[in-house]
Each structure stands twice: as structure tokens, then as C-alpha cells.
A and B are shown apart, each in its own frame.
Chain A
């Protein structure tokens, strides 16, 4: 069934959009990532104009994250205090990100920047997570069932001022690192048109030392607000949020997210991490391939920026 999207001004198959939303929703629920880093390139691929894809994706992430966070709230795996600190940083970051984005847009190379930042960040985080999870699995095997509780590493993060107690995460750390993580994720989220979960999840695990089971819920919590903020910015400045597209994606997405959250609970943290790492690396590989291999069509048509 073809459906005409009023803002994107293209006609697409409704079931294709529902399916895409569903698949990305499952992954989103499993890993606590918004799924934007997968969905945004997929939308480009089926012919949605990039500006509309990025803006609408932000709106869709709000829905899938909200659905996911409710499931996590019930299981009490959301650190609301940590989430709020991350959010404060995130809002500052996304406002900064939009300023950077608009500056680069005036320089005419924003597309390249977006692709390069995808490749660099996905590659870096994907390989780090992959190696770490492999080591964790190997260690777990070696130790057998009698797991020796490893002492929490003390790095520079633990020597900063303004300490705060995060009971759900079982942490007593300075608020500066979570704030900075929030800012960084906000900037990247605005530039890359994603929720930023795929950066935040590893940052929370490796940098802040949060337990994996609260990481997913907390990141979803933060993503809801940052993407809602981004949606409003896009809707009021660029008029590129397509609500029909968003509804189709999110109907698939919210159902998928519920299924994904339940699959996620049944899996071991290491397995979950290694799968996420592989997925991140796959997307990174595809984007790098596109940059390196000669495209079949060298030319592209774009709208002329308003003078």
C-alpha cells in the first residue's frame, strides 16, 4: 500500500515503513540505543530526503525510547538521578551541536562531516566494545562458575570534586564526567541526527563504571528528552518533521521495542554487548565502503540554500 508523505513529498510503501520501524524497534529495546544510527541511513536509502529523515527520526526515537523506558521503569532499572544529570549536559550539547551543524552547513561540507563522524565514532566504539566483550566472555569461561568479584577500577574519574551519590547505579562519583558525557552525546546527536545511545551506552559502562543492567534504561530516559528537544528545533526552524512518516515508523517501532526489551532481559550482558558491537561495526563498515568505493552516480541534486 503506497502512501504519500505530506512533508517529505514522496510516496512510499506503508508496510515497508512499518517493517523497518519494527526491526529497528527490536534492536532499540534490546540494546537501549534509539536506533537512529540504523534508521537514518535506511531512510536515506528508500528515498526520503535527508533533512526530513533526520528530523522525523528524532520524533520516532521519542516514541520507541518512551515505550522502552516504561518497561525498564517497571523493572526499576532506570537511574533517574544519573539520567537527569546526563540530560542537563545533553540539552546544552544539542544546542551547541545545532550551532556547529549550521556553521558547517554554510561551509557546504556537512554531508561529509556526518558520514565521517559516523565512521569514526561507530568504528571506535564498535571495536572497543567488541574487544572488551570478548575478553569478558573469555574471563568468565576461564573462571568457570565461581566468578571472582573484580575490584572496581579507580581512575581519574573518581578523583574529581562535586561528588554525588547515585544509589541505583551504586556509584559515588563526581557529576562532572556524566555532565561531559551528556554534552558530548548531545553535540553528536545533533550533528549525526541520532539519539546518541550507541555512544552513551559504552561511555556509561566504561567511563562512569555503571552496571550494565541500569545503563540501558537510563540512556533511554535521557534520549527521550534530548530527541524531543531536537524534534521541536527541527519542526520550528526547518519544518522537516513528517508526522505521517513518524507515525508509520513508530507503530512498528514501539511494538518492536517491547519485544526487544524482553529479548534483552533473557540475554547475558556480555552477549548483548558483543551483538551491539557487531552491529555498530557493520554499519560503520557499510558507510566506510560508500566513502571509499567510487559511487555509481557521481552527481547528486540538492536544494539551493536560501540566500
Chain B
């Protein structure tokens, strides 16, 4: 009863006491021919109407998520002496890239219930239902392990700098093997593990220039693209042959 009352009281509050004001070092990522990955600096401040209340742990969590894709995780087992793919679990939605940065130890800045609600940590960001294999957990863990090794999933505990309980900054490194799409950056402001404000912004990651042109051509004018690839191959073969004939003279 008491809890309900306090909840109602909280809801009735006119405005949020603390709000996020955000800046990004870049609002779009362009994939060019020599793309080697990119750093995104997420920085901002916490806007307050009242003076800082020092009544609990203030935390900032920054997440950057690539577009969700469904993936098939396969497991090998020994059958008749050789290792073959046997079981497979379809993960309905797993972000192609996911980074979580926090301002302090995870269990201090985020409670389990809030994690569940906002799907903040890596295991929560992956959605898997309707699996037919008993130990589905092993499959999602494998997915996280493989992607973490490829720098696609990053758990950056304590990597958000929070100064004077007001200014914060975090650097997220995007690896070179990125999937195109709209990347979502979420910034959560927490107090005692509870989310008190959330800020969402989108960072489009797009191929540009030659990369864009070739990708479009391959998908929209596939026949022409195929012919072009063959023409290049034949031309290169002929050039090399001609060049070597000249060299021998």
C-alpha cells in the first residue's frame, strides 16, 4: 500500500527533476572504401532545476545498438567420427552491434528489474523465443561469446566518465565489420539503480561513394553488375597477358 502510494506520488510529479542534455561527436557514420571503424564520442550534461541532491548513487549508462537481425546459431557434434552441425537455435532478434558503457559497477547503477524493463545489458538485448532445443542458454551465450570476440558486443563497465554528478562522456568504438542501418544510442540516467531519464537518438551508418554505388548496382541491376564483374575479369586477364608478352620482348 505504501509502495503504491509512493509510486502515485512519483507519477504525479510535474516534471522530471533531472534530465539529460546530449551531444554526439558525429551524427552519422559513413562507410567509405578505406573504412577502418569509427569512434563515437557521446557526451552530455544532466540538467537540473534544483541543486544536486546527494541522496544516492547517480549513474549514467550509454548503449549503442545496431539494427536487429534474426540469426541462426548452430552447434556441432560428433556424428560417426566427424564434426557436423546438429542442433540449431534461431535467435529472433539480436543487434548486429551492441555496446554498453556504464559510469560505475553495473550492479550499482542498474537494478535487475530496470534492466529487464529497458533491455539494457547484452543478454537482455537479445530476444530468443520458441526454441526447440533444451539448453537454449548455451546457444545465446555462444552468440554473445563469438560477437564479443569480434568486438561487435562490448561491455564497457565504468567507461562513462561522470564528473561533478553533471557532466558525462563515453567513447564507443565501432569496429570495421559494421552492418549498415540506423544505430540507436540510448542514454539512461539512473539513481539507486532506477532509471529516472532516458534519451534516445539515432546514428545512421551508411555506405557512401563507390561503396554505395556498387552495393546498389549489385542489388538493383544484378544482371548488369554481373556483366560488369565479368568484363573486369576478362579485361584484367587480357591486360596481364599483354603486359607479360611486352615484358618478354
Contact = CB atoms under 8 A, between A and B. Distances in A.
Contacts of B28: none
A244 interface: yes
Given A9-B177, A301-B73, A66 B234 contact: yes
A254 B146 contact: no
Nearest to A256: B240
B150 to A, nearest CB: 9
A297 B141 CA distance: 12
B67 to A, nearest CB: 12
B139 A299 contact: yes
B166 interface: no
B37 A63 contact: no
A93 to B, nearest CB: 20
B35 interface: yes
Contacts of A64: 237
Q: Please indicate which of the listed interface residues B37, B69, B240 has the most CB atoms of chain A within 10 Å of its own CB.
A: B240
Interface string A63-79: 11111101100100000
B72 A66 contact: no
Given A7-B214, A71-B241, A62 B83 contact: no
Nearest to A67: B237
Interface stretch (B18-26, B42-50, B57-65, B218-226): B218-226
Given A2-B176, A63-B233, A299 B75 contact: yes
A62 B233 contact: yes
B225 A4 contact: no
B178 A9 contact: yes
Contacts of A294: 78, 83
B203 interface: no
A257 interface: yes
Interface in A40-85: 47, 59-60, 62-68, 70-71, 74
A11 B90 CA distance: 27
Contacts of B10: none
A51 to B, nearest CB: 13
A284 B176 CA distance: 33
B239 interface: yes
B82 A291 contact: yes
B202 interface: no
Contacts of B222: 235-236, 239
A123 to B, nearest CB: 14
B33 interface: yes
Interface string A94-120: 000000000000001101100000000
A246 B233 contact: yes
Contact of B142 (A9, A236, A295, A299): A299
A65 B139 CA distance: 43
10 contacts: A7-B214, A63-B232, A108-B85, A231-B226, A247-B232, A291-B82, A294-B83, A297-B142, A300-B76, A303-B71
Interface of A: 1-4, 6-7, 9-11, 47, 59-60, 62-68, 70-71, 74, 108-109, 111-112, 228, 231-232, 234-236, 239, 241, 243-244, 246-247, 250-251, 254-255, 257-258, 290-295, 297-305
Interface of B: 31-37, 69-78, 81-85, 88, 90, 138-139, 142-143, 145-147, 176-180, 207, 210-212, 214-215, 218-219, 222-223, 225-230, 232-234, 236-241, 244-245
Given A66-B238, A66-B241, A235-B223, 6 more contacts: A4-B36, A6-B207, A47-B177, A251-B236, A295-B83, A299-B75
